[in-house]
Amino acid sequence: MSTYAVTNPATGETLKEYPEITDAELRAAIERAGAAAAWARGSSVFERAVLVRAVGDLHYERREQLAEIVMREMGKPFEQALIEVDYAGAIYHFYADQAETLLADEPIDLVRGGGSAIIRRSQFGVLLGIMPWNFPYYQVARFAAPNLVVGNPILLKHAPQCPESAEAIHAMFDDAGFPRGAYENIYATNAQVESVIADPRVRGVSVTGSERAGAAVAELAGRHLKKIVLELGGSDPFLLLGTDDLDAVVEAAATVRLENTGQACNAAKRFIIIDHLYDAFLEKFKAVFETATPGDPAVRGTEIGPLSSAAAAARLRDQVDRAVAAGASVVVGGGQHGNFFEPTILTGITPGDEASQEEFFGPVAQVYRASDEAEAVAIANLTPFGLGSYVMTNDQDQADRVANQIEAGMVFVNIVLADSPELPFGGIKRSGFGRELGRSGADEFVNKKLIRSAAPGDGPLQHFAAGQQVGV
């Protein structure tokens, strides 16, 4: 039985299986990717940008078909799936539009000697991407778009529960006109991934997934001296320190916790409320969760679907049960029906306890009371993760002060769901390292080549003081 299969989490029915790639097929895919690297070196930035834009166009053209696929694969409500497809299309368009700017020569102002110096960005080489199931199109777009503009061929291992969307993405790259090997979908096993990372033609790896997966791949990459970018889990804090509109804050809090049925690494998961707003916030927050009912993702208008799999539901069930056994209280929800999990609010978790240190990947919110700003920041930072964070306050000085103290790769002040292709995405601590999207995403896998030239008419002169050591 193949590990790659479409199993509808709403019904538990396995709809289709996809065979794992054979070792011979995998070697052929790597060979094609290596050949595509030669194509990329001979192509212009403009030519590659045209192809990347065409991939974005196809996302828009096929949006309903693509949305229906992920609805079947991982239970994403249809309207949210459409939003994801459109956002992926926007990412391809962003990098197509910005390609020549992002890859333009960067002059360096010399402080010693004459002549000139520039940084020239060029291809890094074949890359392996290991992508997750929760945003099947968006996650691929933010990895593939900048790297194909740079000219780095992609070997893409998607999550085993997303083989149909993986196939659809590969088809879009083919239909856009990319040469064979520029984007290769591989239904690889974990053992085969080891051989891909070890292959000298593969120069780097990008992983979005769990801490366990990231650590395992990072160990392999380090062993073979391959650069790696890791985007792992998160337990993002949502700090409410002050507001003139509590209803709007509660709506934002519920939205950022329940989007994608709570299955987003950068969703707010721990809600840290200043003492004088705690009771009112919790009452209103509970009312919103009580009306948020999971439903069939195929029914238009459904906002919360099933969890992505039986394994995901069992994992969340265990986390909630352990938290309650350790003293947490269930304010609302807590029920489970198959893979459908009721939106749940937990209180009474002591900062630093096991539940506060884990990522709850589903519609479960932890609510904490903070006596003042300092305690709120301390609770926010008492986590092994450091991906995103949210700060709600009507005091701009406080916003700046707290944003500087939050240990995270991203801070969103008085706004949620504000991701955009030009904004870098990534974290610190056990949330990983490296960045995707924006200029930072395009800079992760490039050869930033220094080209230092003498002034016209100068010979091979040295412009350094006698006896000074240069280089290493």
The pLDDT tens digits for 341-366 are: 999 999 999 999 999 999 999 999 99
pLDDT recorded at residue 23: 98
| Res. 134: pLDDT tops 50 | yes
Question: Which residues, 6 or more positions from 459, have their beta carbon under 8 angstroms from its beta carbon?
Answer: none
User: Which amino acid does the sequence have at 159?
Assistant: A
Active site residues: 231, 265
Which residues contact residue 43 at a Cβ distance below 8 angstroms, ignoring those fewer than 6 apart?
Answer: 151
DSSP class of 263: -
Integer CA distances (angstroms), 367 to 322, 380, 394, in order: 16, 11, 21
- The DSSP result for 222-238, as a single string, is HHTT-EEEEE----EEE
Q: Is the pLDDT of residue 458 over 80?
A: no
pLDDT at 466: 46
* Residue 113: predicted pLDDT: 85
Query: 57 phi and psi, to 5 degrees?
Result: -60, -40
Q: Let me know if domain 4-232+431-451 sits in CATH 3.40.605.10.
A: yes
For 359-403, what is each residue's pLDDT tens digit? Answer: 999 999 999 999 999 999 999 999 999 999 999 999 999 999 999
Instruction: Report the SS3 class of residue 149.
Output: helix
Mean of the per-residue pLDDT values for the chain? Answer: 96
Structure tokens at 461: 């002169």
Q: What is the CATH number of domain 236-413?
A: 3.40.309.10
CA distance linking residue 162 with residue 279, whole number of Å: 42
| Non-local CB neighbours of 158 within 8 Å, separated by 6+ positions | 131, 133, 136, 140, 165, 166, 169, 185
Can you tell me the mean pLDDT for 283-295? 97
Tell me what pLDDT residue 467 has. 47
- What angle (nearest 5°) sits at the alpha carbon of residue 383, between those of residues 287 and 229? 110
Q: Where are the domains of the chain?
A: 4-232+431-451, 236-413
Q: What is the pLDDT, as a whole number, of residue 459?
A: 66
Length of the chain: 472
